Amino acid sequence: MRVSPTSPDLVEQGFTVFIISWKNPDQWDRDLSMDDYRRSGVMAALAAINTIVPEKAVHGVGYCIGGTLLMIAAAAMARKRDPRLASLTLLAAQADFSEPGELGLFIDESQVNFLDDIMWETGYLDGRRMAGAFQLLRSHDLIWSKSVRQYLQGQRSTMTDLMAWNADATRLPYRMHSEYLQRLYLDNEFADGVFEVDDDAVHLSDVKVPFFVVGTEKDHVAPWPSVYKINRMARSPVSFLLTSGGHNAGIVSPPDHPRRRYRVHTHQPEELMLPPDDFLDQTPVHEGSWWPEWLTWLRARSGNKAKPPAMGAPSRGHAPLYDAPGRYAHQK
């Protein structure tokens, strides 16, 4: 296959890519905690990668709650002087939850107690409840205009890849979701430096690798000014990129997508942080997708192209189990 030198595809550009396929929890997973997700998710995946590709540092990438979990894992690794991360890329992911935007309307002590009662019965938070809350935040775009088009005007929307992916809601286990809301949204433990991992308080300032952080202009889940606060917490360079679009469409933004734009600024730890309004005023706008910008950033922090490893490592206990996308993608 002929590869374009400007293709945004990481595999085509010579990167070896590993993706975590998360299990959709059910009632039997009710007691899984945030730390279970860190240990059995992030750390177990990293151990498998280190087995398949030995002695290679990893460019970690996390999206939304996965990005928050990755930051916590990276901070815990830094406290233990674990060198297996080369950089962190965070997509619409918050570290400081003091100003979560409109989503904060749904998260207070009474709402958390209400959700706890619901989850106690089922063992998990149903993805439809989460999706409903997100739709209410953008009710004009996601509820009313859709209803007007479909039911009053009789115009049926053609399903796209992004719409199908967005409709594939996932669940969260009782204990993990309760901890996530209480410890991060309500108590803001991670930003305040009191979030404990293995009985040791961790903070983002412990992490010494560079960050590439993406926020989106119309994000109703992780508002970009909230995501932008990472510049105040980190003690290593942060390349913050703000792109047009929302929480999903702004991230899934291939180069042929029309009407996309972005601006990017790298903040050094010894510099004063630009306030959000100054960032908007002083940072030039670039037309097009942000993907090639990230590819350039990754390439500058990676080694030369190497022959990709074989699929899995059967001799080391990591034989392939299923064809892509794996069994978890077919769970209901």
User: Distance between CA atoms of 236 and 231, rounded to whole angstroms?
Assistant: 9
For β-strands 58-63 and 85-91, DSSP reports them as parallel
Q: Ramachandran region of residue 173, left (φ > 0), alpha (ψ -120 to 50) or beta?
A: beta
The DSSP annotation for 139-164 comes to HIIIIIHHHIIIIIS--PPPP-HHHH
3 state DSSP class of 59 = strand
The 3-class secondary structure across 70-97, one letter per residue, is HHHHHHHHHHCCCCCEEEEEEECCCCCC
**Dist. CA 68–CA 73, nearest whole Å:** 9
Select from 268, 202, 263, 258 the least CA-distant residue to 234.
268
Residue positions annotated with a catalytic role: 64
